[in-house]
Structure 1
Amino acid sequence: MKVVKFGGSSLANGEQFKKVIAIVTAQPERQAVITSAPGKRFSDDIKVTDLLITYAEQFLNYLDTKKIQEKIFDRYQEIAQTFELPTEQLTWLKKELQQLQERTYPSAEYLLAAFKAHGEYFNARLLTLILNHLKIKARFIDPREVGLLVSSDSNDATVLPVTYENLARLDYTDEKLIFPGFFGVTKEGEIATFSRGGSDITGAIVARGLNAELYENFTDVDAIYATDPRLVQDPYAVTKMTYREMRELSYAGFSVFHDEAIVPAIEGRVKINVKNTNHPERPGTMIIPYQEFTPITPITGISSAKHFSALYLHKFLLNKETGFTLKILNILYKYGISYEHMPSGIDDLTIIFDNSQLTEAKRKAVSRDIRAVIQPDELRWIDDYALIMVVGEGMINRIGIMKDVILAISDHNINIHMINQGSSEVSIMLGTKSADADKAVKYIYEAFFEQK
């Protein structure tokens, strides 16, 4: 069997729903379907998830929510009307939309998670209704009923291992199983969402749990490209890549596929095929285990992300001080902050953070505690920080790859703040100023792909 997931742009309106239904029914083995919330119909449109966030914020601020509820309902009603679905079949949706603000939640964070999750929840139920209306056997699968259990991190949940046992017990024959993406339920029975874009994660979880032969992830591009098409015109389309290449690239800016979604696929050894809903006949990009992969280029992709900050520390004889790093980690743990990377020298150390981990209050508290405990000679924050990932299984067998990457940037007078290469030799990480990141990606791409 195959698991198919559709992104928000693939389910934005009735015409897109028609394409999705054609894809789902084209192959009987496409039995499990994961829905996202309706995305943008045009450039200035608003995603349903963002409308639901506005709904939650208005409710929390004691504002009238009638208009925003109507706006959300209209998005689904517009889709239903494309298929001439009787109006009374959407009564439940309007009722449940209203009931969201009548329920009791453990915290404002859990309220926000529940509101957000209903974009996918409503869309999955609507797709099920439409399929049945078209005489196609389909069943809605509620994560709360099937046991898709997640951690208690309300808006950044992770799947619990018992979920796979629960999914394996799911009974199905010739019907389509329609799952809402993006959320699961905690052991306490509360809705918790994955990080934004988390429907990819749901798809991978279901694919592993149902022991699928393939996870097809439908989006709005023909393939995964070697770099961002907004930076390079007509970039190289990658036909095959490995799990770890995809995870490295997704981490640093590739928005086609969620980096956390790779983990369940790896654990279940489920291959992933990223395809275009608008051109389903095109092969897309296959994501496979590295044992089955033969690289044809030294580099598979280059990506960048600018949502980082760095804390620089300098202290003489740092390398001689036992427990120095442990003291820093204890301070970060105290404030619930994880770090991304920690390159160091004999007298200095840089800690790189995702800005989503930080608030101004946390930055001040961490600085204060480090000064008190570590007593560095110098401590300063670097806000203008970007990370660039150069990724490729083919780099292992290519001598001089680091030199070529550095020359591609330095020849254009771009300063590199940090260089890090893992022992796997699959990726090279560079730190630059945010203003230089896009140019650096473009120059590295030109050096490796345009010359080729």
Structure 2
Amino acid sequence: MKVVKFGGSSVASGNQIKKITGIITSDEKRRVIVVSAPGKRSSDDVKVTDLLIQLGDSLQIGVDHEEAYRQVISRFEEIVLDLNLDESVLREVQRKIDDSIALIRSEDPTGIDALKACGEDGSALVVSAYLQTLGHEGTYVNPKEAGILVKDQPGGALVLEESFERLYKLRERQGTLVIPGFFGFTEEDQLVTFSRGGSDITGSIVAAGVKADLYENFTDVDSVFCVNPMYVENPRPLTSLTYREMRELSYAGFGVFHDEALIPAFKEKIPVCIKNTNNPTAPGTMIVAELPEREEHVVGIASDEGFLNLYVSKYLMNREIGFGRRLLQILEDEGVSFEHAPSGIDDMSVIIREHHLPKDKEEIVLQRINDELQVDMVLIERDMAMIMIVGEGMNQTIGIASSATSAFQEAGVNIEMINQGSSEVSMMFGVKSEGLGPAVQALYKVFFGEK
């Protein structure tokens, strides 16, 4: 059995849905399908999920929402008409959107999550209906019916272990099962969404639950590349990766996978293949638990902007028991999550995504650190970027750090921070955002031998 997940670009239009149904019906092992909400049809288009969020925001603050509502319905209407589906399919999609709007108006706390989930839910209704018109047994399966139970954490649901036993029963069902991604249900029957991009999480959970032989994730690229094509022209494609490598790359800016997505598949050791909806015969990139030892120890270079460095200095900090805990406790009290926290004898840096510490909250955090920790210095440096080189066994390979730092020197980019810690598969560098492109290009040249 194969579990197949199709991303937003794969269900963005009627023509794309025709492609994916061709992919589904070409292999009888593709029995469980997970779909995203319709994505962009072109570079200047808007994703349906973004329209739903805009609609929800308008409803909450009491401003005109008719245009956002019209655009959402119009997107689904266009797809339904293009596929020549019965009008009842569109009516069902619209009913679910209207029901969610009613929840928001009644100030039900589940209303926003219910509305955001309508994109994936609508895609699943459309794809299952279209399969039926082709003479195939396509069945829409709601996540509650499938057995996806989650912890009640709106916008960031966590799957409960009992889900996997329930999902296994899907193997007993006949035909092609189409499940909307991105959301599950609590034990109290409340709809809760995963974090943004959570359809990848659903796909991985379902693959783990049914103990699939393969989890295929269809997107709009032939494979994972070793570096972002935004910085390097025609970068080298990767034919295979380990789970740990892919997770590190996803976290550090690779847009192919949500960084939490592989965990359920990883636990069950289910191989994952990333493929292209628009070129389904391409071999794609395989992601597996283990690979034979490779000649190249660096397999990818990931990067992302939008970080800040909270720098704290205090003489003899290392002798002050509990200092790090109390610093991080202040961040926790203020609802700020952190990414990395490298430290020295007298200083400590905490790397935070900028949107987690807005300017108004920054003043509160700085004041508390000064008052409660009696530090010598505390400052915040914004406009930071993180670059990560990734590969199994890097920490056992002589010269990796030296080669990387020489690349930064060649690019004329100053390294603000280096963090490897206990990781065996990655090394992270912090730089000012303006140096991101030149640094990535120089690293690519060093580790992949190409200009």
- Relative to the length of structure 1, the TM-score reads 0.95
Per the alignment, do residues 428 and 89 of structure 1 end up closer, same or farther by CA in structure 2, a change over 3 Å counting? closer
How far did 1:56 drift? Answer: 0.9
Aligned to 2:297: 298
Q: Which residue does the alignment assign to 1:85?
A: 85
C-alpha separation in 1, matches of 2:69 and 2:260? 32
Contact 1:309/1:381 (<8 A) preserved: yes
Q: Deviations over 1:300-357 (max 9, x none)?
A: 1001111211110111111111111121122222223222111111111111112242
Alignment deviations for residues 38-64 of structure 1 (CA, whole Å, 9 cap, x no partner):
111112111111111121122123234
Aligned pair count reads: 451
Alignment of 1:136-285 (within 5 A): 136-170=136-170, 172-285=172-285
Q: Which residue of 2 aligns with 1:367?
A: 366
Q: 1:235 to 1:107 in 2, by over 3 A?
A: farther
Match for residue 392 of structure 2? 393
Distance 1:160 1:133 in 2: 36
- Cα offset for 1:12? 0.6
CA offsets 1:97-121 (integer angstroms, 9 cap, x no match): 2222112589686432221111000
Q: Using the TM superposition, name which of 439-448 and 88-97 deviates more.
A: 88-97
CA distance in 2, matches of 1:451, 1:250: 23
Per the alignment, residue 316 of structure 1 pairs with 315
Structure 1: which amino acid aligns with 2:150?
V
Q: Which runs of 5+ in 2 are unaligned?
A: none
Tell me, yes or no, if the aligned pair for 2:35 and 2:199 is still in contact at 8 Å.
yes
2:345 partner letter: I
Distance 2:440 2:107 in 1: 42
- Rounded to whole Å, the distance in 2 between the matches of 1:387 and 1:169 is 43
- Which letter maps to 2:112? L
Deviates more, 1:63-72 or 1:79-88: 63-72
C-alpha contact (below 8 Å) 1:296/1:394 kept by paired residues: no
For residues 267 and 186 of structure 2, what CA distance do their matches in structure 1 show?
22
Query: Whole-Å Cα distance in 2 between the matches of residues 298 and 105 of structure 1?
Result: 55
- Opposite residue 310 of structure 1, the aligned amino acid is N
Aligned partner of 1:158: which letter?
A: L
Please tell me whether the aligned partners of residues 275 and 285 of structure 1 are also in contact (alpha carbons under 8 angstroms): yes
- Describe the superposition over 1:263-310 as per-residue Cα deviations: whole angstroms up to 9, x where unpaired: 1111111111000001110100000113x3432422110011112111
- Is the CA contact (8 Å cut-off) linking 2:59 and 2:105 kept in structure 1? no
Structure 1 gap segments, 5+ residues each: none
Alpha-carbon distance between aligned partners in 2 of 1:320 and 1:112, rounded to the nearest angstrom: 48
Matches of 1:426 and 1:88, distance apart in 2: 51
* Contact 1:239–1:284 (Cα < 8 Å) also in 2: yes
Q: Secondary structure at the match of 1:429?
A: strand
Measured against aligned partners, the alpha-carbon deviations of 1:63-104 in whole angstroms (never above 9, x if no partner) come to: 343333232122122222222212244222222222221125
Name the SS of the counterpart of 2:101 in structure 1: coil
**Which is worse superposed, 12-21 or 184-193?**
184-193
What is the match of residue 433 of structure 2?
A: 434
User: What letter matches 2:357 in structure 1?
Assistant: L
How far, CA to CA, are the matches of 2:334 and 2:139 in structure 1? 44
Structure 1 stretch displaced more, 255-264 or 150-159: 150-159
Matches within 5 A, 1:103-122: 103=103, 110-122=110-122
Q: Is the 8 A contact 1:34 1:202 kept in 2?
A: yes
| Separation in structure 2 between the aligned mates of residue 87 and residue 270 of structure 1, nearest angstrom | 39
- Shift of the 270–197 alpha-carbon distance from structure 1 to 2, 3 Å rule, reads same
Specify the SS of the correspondent of 2:151: coil
For 2:93 and 2:449, the matched residues in 1 are separated by 52
Structure 2 matches for 1:403-422, cutoff 5 A?
403-422=402-421
RMSD: 1.8
User: Contact 1:242–1:293 at 8 Å: present in 2 too?
Assistant: no
C-alpha contact (below 8 Å) 2:444/2:450 kept by paired residues: no
